[in-house]
Amino acid sequence: MRPEDLYSDVVMFHYKNSSHKGKIKNPTAEQEGSNLSCGDSLHLYIELNGDILEKVTFDGHGCAVSIASASILADLVEGKSKEEAVEIIQEFYKMIKGEDFNAELLGDAMVFENLKQFPVRVKCATLAWHTLEQLLK
Ligand code: ZN
């Protein structure tokens, strides 16, 4: 795998066309996260309905990998319970570390399966996930 393979169609689609970009007016919770090694800086917003993540959005700036990963994450966890979202995040970490993971839960996030070959990019791809994890605690 070459580094440029990280910028697959799926990644570029989410980077350019994310339907989760922007603020939520009255978010239930919000959290900022940054990755100094690349200069990625994201702000996550969630709207909860009971225990369900009704809406998940983000804004900020970052490289294609960090933005696409945030968009993919938002797609995956929207409509899920907090508990399910935490489980999805854990499966993503397992995949990144090269451990066994539940592919059914990860959908488009599977594009980052080979990311572990590029340690610098791992921080970009996991930024939104760490940020959401903090937010849900
Ligand atoms: Zn980055």
Express each pLDDT in 19-46 by its tens digit.
Answer: 999 999 999 999 999 999 999 999 999 9
Q: Is the dihedral of CA 61, 42, 57, 12 positive or negative?
A: positive
Compute, in angstroms, the gap from residue 7 CA to the centroid of ligand 1: 12
CB atoms within 10 A of CB 41: 16
Distance from the CA of 74 to the center of ligand 1, in angstroms?
A: 17
Distance 100 CA to ligand 1 centre (A): 25
Range of the domain at 86: 3-136
Q: Which residues pair with 34 in a beta bridge?
A: 41
Count: domains in the chain: 1
Cα(52) to ligand 1 centroid in Å equals 29
pTM flag (> 0.85): yes
Domain at 32, CATH number: 3.90.1010.10
